[in-house]
Amino acid sequence: MARHLITSAIPYINGIKHLGNLVGSQLPADLYARYLRGRGNEVLFLCATDEHGTPAELAAAKAGKPVDEYCAEMHEVQSGIAEGFRLSFDHFGRSSSQRNQELTQHFAGVLDEQGLIREVSETQMYSPTDGRYLPDRYIEGTCPNCGFDSARGDQCDNCTKQLDPVDLINPHSTISGATDLEMRETKHLYLCQSQMKDELEAWIDSKSDWPVLTTSIAKKWLNDGDGLQDRGITRDLDWGVPVKKGTEDWPGMEGKVFYVWFDAPIEYIACSQEWVDAGKGEDWQRWWRTDAGAEDVTYTQFMGKDNVPFHTLSFPATILGSGEPWKLVDYIKSFNYLNYEGGQFSTSRGRGVFMDQALEVLPSDYWRWWLLSHAPESSDAEFTWENFQASVNKDLADVLGNFVSRVTKFCRSKFGEVVPEGGSYGAAEEALLAELTERLQRYEQMMDAMEVRKSAQELRAIWAAGNEYLQSAAPWAAFKEDPERAAAIVRLSLNLIRLYAVLSAPFIPDTSAVLKEAMKLDSLDWPGDLNEALSALPAGAEFTVPENLFRKITDDEREEWQQRFSGKRD
């Protein structure tokens, strides 16, 4: 049994996330975690809410609530929505936890001891109108790289270039809209990433199996322009982890907090401590400390491409630079963007379908299937209501749902709600077994490689093979001439339903659970030998006919939803 640590990029606390956020990190991470558990592996799957920085402060101010109260409420909301999408986190933590505060301050202290933090006097945007410094997302303006007119002070959403507020053209305060900004001197701490360039580059070069998207972004940041730059890790904010060297005060840094992108990835480790504190597990160190057993762990991260630079450079610089025996990530699965109806999803601009709205429209399996089967891996993908309707109706209703309905209802009408006995298998069954053996092997290969779309294609082909067999074998016709032959066909088909319940569980867990209950299964054991798997339900085993697994989306519904979700958020 292998051990796998899986983390999803942690979502910002500032509101409910859209479907693009979901498919870019949490959902494929859940797919992989469920698959690995299904294969009998030991899995620790962690995520959390990212609660520090300007997004939290701005969202709380907009909601008219203290920032700590707002974050607590939104953590509960996001946790509930995650449950609604059946995201199987072993723990869903909070970056504002005491554990993360202590661990962040610890890393800062040891990095300083290693000579990797320097104090910098710099000028920073100050707004006399607002009476405060304006770091990061308190400033917007035009991107000097691509001309996007709503670039933030830390990064451009359009071209993903990392920015400093002083880089922006025509900057303004996002608090008041004031443009009378001025530069004032302040002191901050910088992580000396440049000192670690060679070590980071060698580490990245050693990851020959990483997706091209991941390594190309990392190497671009390493080598573009003047190469890897030192990065500020403190901010003039009220909300965040107070700047300390371990447990000691940091002279000159009073009233400052650590930059959210310094403390947020550290929450992955802190989250495992919270997992233990919550009584859900034991010994977090065996997952994270290579001197405590973590050398046997395979660590995989899932994220959108905008998060890649921080997870390939800044967070590894923190881990490596500490000189302590922490587990480094083994594989980073990154995703492109999912666009919406010819434009971009955007939390800040309220464009697209949001996770809470999606669950109001249809159950989670409908969304899970579409998003995963259209995951933006090799390029950006596009959500359209026409495509969503077609995929749900064809893949889920016509292929899987139709097969289950036809088999169980025909069996009930001719043999009762039991697996029929009699008859034998022949050439048709041997051909099906050969096809399924080949497809199952490819399905497992694609899932092991985290090729999400290709895995979905193989799973659908496995469903379709059962449909084609049923249509060709035609037990309804065979029953008239040879009831025992019909019994054999139905018996195999009922065992296919059991197989589908197992293989489909990572993609559509609720549907898998319905099939498990209908087939009266105690567990969903991953198939080893398909001959055994397709005879696991013996003659005489009872079952019940499930309700229709999926309903079709009508044209009227599609048109209504297109109008309702035209890119505006109430």
Bind-site residues: 143, 146, 156, 159, 347
The token duo for 483 is 């009831």
Q: Three-class SS of residue 86?
A: coil
- Rounded (10°) CA dihedral 487, 493, 498, 502: 160
d(CA 361, CA 562): 12
Summarize the annotated binding site for ATP as residue ranges. Answer: 347
| Residues tagged in the binding site annotation for Zn(2+) | 143, 146, 156, 159
Q: What is the DSSP letter of 53?
A: S
- Terminal alpha carbon distance of the chain: 48
Closest by CA position to 489, among listed 422, 400, 537, 437 = 422
Checking DSSP bridges between strand 338-340 and strand 381-383, what pairing results, if any?
A: parallel
SS3 labels along 268-311? HHHHHHHHHHCCCCCCCHHHHECCCCHHHEEEEEEEEHHHHHHH
Cβ 385 vs Cβ 408: under 8 Å: no
Strand-pair category, 343-344 with 338-340: antiparallel
Q: What CA–CA distance (Å, rounded) separates 498 from 501?
A: 5
Query: Which residues sit opposite 93 in a β-bridge?
Result: 48
- H helix or E strand, kind and range, residue 125: strand 117-127
The set of residues, in sequence order, having a beta carbon less than 8 Å from that of 166 and lying 6+ positions away, is: 123, 124, 125, 183
Is the distance from CB of 196 to CB of 116 less than 8 angstroms?
yes
Rg of the Cα atoms in the chain: 27
Sole residue written with tokens 């009227």? 556
| 493, 467 contact by CB (below 8 A) | no
CB 165 within 8 A of CB 171: yes
What's CA 186's distance to the chain center, in Å?
Answer: 38
The residues, ordered by sequence, that sit 6+ positions from 556 with a Cβ below 8 Å of its Cβ are none
487 contacts 424 by C-beta, under 8 angstroms: no
Q: At a CB cut-off of 8 Å and minimum separation 6, what does 566 contact?
A: 341
Is 491 within 8 Å of 411 (Cβ atoms)? no
Which sign, positive or negative, has the C-alpha torsion 102, 106, 112, 115?
A: negative
Q: Are 107 and 98 in contact (CB under 8 A)?
A: no
